[in-house]
Amino acid sequence: MNNKIKIKELIAFLESTAPIQLQESYDNCGLLCGDSEQTVSNVLVSLDCTEAVIAEAVAKKCEIVVCHHPVIFKGLKKLTGSNYVERTMIAAIKNGVAIYAIHTNLDNVSHGVNAIFAEKLGLRNTRILAPKSSELKKLGVYVPSDNREQLLDALFSAGAGEIGNYAECSFSIEGTGSFMAMDNSNPYVGEKGIRHHEKETRIEVVFPRWKEREILSAMRSNHPYEEIAFDVVSLDNTFQSVGAGLIGELPEEMSTSDFIAMVKSKMKAGVVRYTTLNDPQQKIKKVALCGGSGSFLLSQAKSAGAQAFVTGDFKYHEFFDAEGKIVIADIGHFESEQFTIDLLVAWIRKKFPTFAVHFTDTNTNPINYL
């Protein structure tokens, strides 16, 4: 059994699960240092990457650290060891430890950071709180009617035609196409120099924008014409499987005090900063959440009818925006994302069962509670 893989294989898997194209514009996901062709046998998974984490990786003979937060977030102009970022990078390079960050792209998929957060709170019937728009494209292509099913099969296999909980979605229109093959052509049907009419079908399928290369490659490989008539259109539709935060329901409604106690216990929070509702008798059933810094989603949580919103990093004045209509529960940035490590370890172990995956023993939370 092979217990070694190339870094690029690990990256390909992680980015097939959380496409790097879904990272926010300010982010810096991906391979931060190291050679993607390097063969590795051990990986250390951590929320952050610090000097202590690199030291732990070296001690455990891990050749790569997979972390959630990118240690390089802003541009580096020097590596002199003047701060922890530079010292971490120097240590990684000296010891041959690669660093891969999977950050907001993991936040923005429905099965990512917020999914395990919601699982810990026992939420049901979850959905994306703020779905992204402009993440979908539509392919329209004309094909001889007899070749329609072959082309559809190829497009579906490449990832086209998935809408919510439905797969292999398409729309077809029958019609007649015409063309005249010129001297240097090699026509699939018809004769050179003579206008030809062919019974054709226009196929339309939607796909995520980051799969465009694979979709067009599948189209070209499975289309009989040497010149293919097609168009690709960007859509403004919201993509319900991609976006920020989640919202779901508790199995049973709870009072605010019981809810806060449950959240503190389940999320191992040292403290919970929270607001109260105008109506002290109102129960909490619908809950919104966002791992990390989620205050930007408060208005969406309120509009969605959530009675509570659990996240981290709320500022003092932002708590006033609850206006007694929703419970803001700030459990801390680290606390809201800590189980991301469990998620990544489970994914990698399932995909590469003979590959050694290690949980970090280093507590990277810089905040202590008294």
DSSP class of residue 163 equals B
The Cα 13–Cα 21 span in angstroms is 14
Burial of 162: CB neighbours in 10 Å, binned 0-12, 13-18, 19+? middle
CA dist 208 and 290 (Å) reads 23
Amino acid at 57: A
Interval 255-271 mean pLDDT: 97
Token reading at 14: 């992680």
Residue 193 token pair: 């120099």
Task: Assess whether pLDDT exceeds 60 at residue 299.
Answer: yes
What is the phi/psi pair of residue 161, to 5°? 80, 20
What strands lie across the sheet with 64-67, from one edge to the other?
Answer: 30-33, 98-101, 64-67, 42-46, 356-359
Mind listing the pLDDT tens digit for each residue in 17-56?
999 999 999 999 999 999 999 999 999 999 999 999 999 9
SS3 52: helix
Quote the CA–CA distance of 24 and 370 in Å, as a whole number: 35
Give the whole-angstrom CA distance, residue 53 versus residue 65. 8
The verdict on pTM exceeding 0.75 is yes
Contact (Cβ atoms closer than 8 angstroms) between residue 264 and residue 331: yes
Query: How many Cα neighbours within 13 Å face the side chain of 174?
Result: 3
Residue 337 confidence (pLDDT)? 98
Question: What distance in Å separates the CA atoms of residue 1 and residue 124, rounded to the nearest whole number?
Answer: 39
Q: What is the mean pLDDT of residues 352-359?
A: 94
Give the pLDDT mean for 315-339: 98
Q: What is the pLDDT of residues 154-188, one digit of tens each?
A: 999 999 999 988 999 999 999 999 999 999 999 99
The arithmetic mean of pLDDT across residues 217-234, rounded, is 97
Alpha carbon distance 328, 324 (integer Å): 9
Cα–Cα distances (Å) from 138 to 218, 308, 321, 348, in that order, read 15, 37, 39, 32
Q: With pLDDT > 70 as the criterion, what percentage of the chain qualifies?
A: 99
DSSP 301: H
74-114 residue pLDDT tens: 888 999 999 999 999 999 999 999 999 999 999 999 999 99
Query: Any idea which residue has 């809950």 for tokens?
Result: 287
Number of C-beta neighbours around residue 279 at 10 A: 9
Residues 6+ apart with CB under 8 A from 216: 139, 232
Confidence band of 3 (pLDDT split at 50, 70, 90): confident
- Please report the beta strands in the chain, taking only residues with DSSP state E, as ranges in sequence order: 5-6, 30-33, 39-40, 42-46, 64-67, 98-101, 124-133, 136-144, 171-180, 195-208, 230-235, 238-254, 273-274, 284-293, 308-312, 327-330, 356-359
Confidence of residue 2 (pLDDT cuts 50, 70, 90): low
* pLDDT given at position 1: 44
**Rounded distance between C-alpha atoms, residue 154 and residue 215, angstroms:** 8
Rounded Cα gap, residues 51 and 93, in angstroms: 12
Mean per-residue pLDDT over the chain, rounded = 97
**CA neighbor of 62 nearest in space, from 99, 102, 89, 33:** 99
Give me the half-sphere count of Cα atoms (radius 13 Å) on the Cβ side of residue 226. Answer: 10
Total Cβ atoms within 10 A of residue 210: 16
Minimal CA–CA distance to 103: which of 37, 36, 41, 14?
A: 14
Q: Note the pLDDT of residue 45.
A: 98
Interval 273-283 mean pLDDT: 96
Q: From CA 88, how far away is CA 72, in angstroms rounded? A: 10
Mean pLDDT, residues 187-212 taken together: 96
Instruction: Give me the amino acid identity at 235.
Output: L
